[in-house]
Amino acid sequence: MLIALCSVKGSPGVTTLAVALAMTWPHAESMRRLVAEVDPSGGDLAMRFGLPAAPGLVSLAAAARRTRDPAVVWDHTQVLPGGARALVAPPGGTHARATLSTLVTASDGPLLPVVARDAGVVVFADCGRVDPGSPAEAIARHADALVLVSGAQSDDLAHAAARLEELARWTPRPGLLLTGDGYPTVDIERELGIPAIGRLPHDPATAATLTGHRQPMARRRSNNGGLARHATAVARTLAGPATPIASPPATTPAGVPGIPAQQVRRPGGVLITPPSNGPQPASAPPQARNPRHNGHQPSPAGKEPRA
């Protein structure tokens, strides 16, 4: 199974999410889990976990010139805490983009989707920010499921709405995952016309642990954001069956400023949705009210670790 994780603005925690899903994936002990850094802006995992630069994406690109055997991918991975493997990318954007472009332009296509077809294998492709022309698009288009990670503030949502229809066409299972503080989940779902598969809270202590960083013990004890718990719920949703999209509502209330209702289009295909009896997306509490914005005003933006 290939799961592509991406954003369209800023750094909402895509890399952190990829690692969290690999660590919390159902029946992880019987699965081969691979976190692949295919972000053309460069990788972070080597620095975060103190891993060497090689083996990784660069050495795989060199090996792929000699053989197109998909099994070669595993020879260029390294072990992460929890037993998952990582295909690390170089930190520099220029080097990473050139290497990734080499890998995805082979005549028989990129290797990662082929690896992900094997039974008992799940690949989490950290595509980073998928700007138009990103070489990661070639991998995302082969994904079994694509998760668009977005913040919940007006500017984040405006960018997500502008690309939602396009990204939904890349995969049979598109999904929207919200992060941090901002508008309530129910308002965002109503405005964009699709349900969110979850919402990750602002939990810097757990995020730091998941990405190889350390924080003072006092701060760790005081934080109870529940990132691991929410990531576990998202992993179960992604591992489960897809649900067909219901018919769009007749009217779309303009509940989120910055997203003109007439520009929102409901994506086609099959959407990843939380099970009806499972964990529901958390809503950020509307702490302030403003009648000019239909009764809602975003709470202060939470900052996710750079992904």
Statement: the pTM of the whole predicted model exceeds 0.75: yes
Q: Taking residues 51-80, report their average pLDDT.
A: 94
Per cent of the chain over pLDDT 90 is 60
pLDDT at 113: 94
Q: Select the more confidently predicted residue: 307 or 7.
A: 7
Choice between 297 and 258, residue whose per-residue pLDDT is larger:
258
CA 21/CA 122 separation, integer angstroms: 10
More confident residue, 301 or 236: 236
Unique residue bearing structure tokens 């598109």 = 174
234 versus 220: the higher-pLDDT residue is 234
**Please, are residues 120 and 33 in contact by the beta-carbon 8 Å criterion?**
no
State the average pLDDT over residues 185-201: 92
Residue % of the chain over a pLDDT of 70: 75
Q: Please tell me the predicted confidence (pLDDT) of residue 85.
A: 97
Q: pLDDT category, 143, cuts 50, 70, 90?
A: very high
- What is residue 223's predicted lDDT score, i.e. its pLDDT? 46
Short-list 149, 143, 180, CA closest to 15: 149
**Integer Cα distance of 82 and 22 in angstroms:** 8
Q: Quick: pLDDT tens for 29-45.
A: 899 999 999 999 999 99
- pLDDT tier at 242, thresholds 50, 70, 90: confident
Query: Of 36-50, 100-114, 227-241, 288-302, which gets the smallest average pLDDT?
Result: 288-302
Distance of CA 78 to the CA centre of its chain: 21
Residue range 2-293, CATH number: 3.40.50.300
Q: What number is the average pLDDT over the span 206-214? A: 73
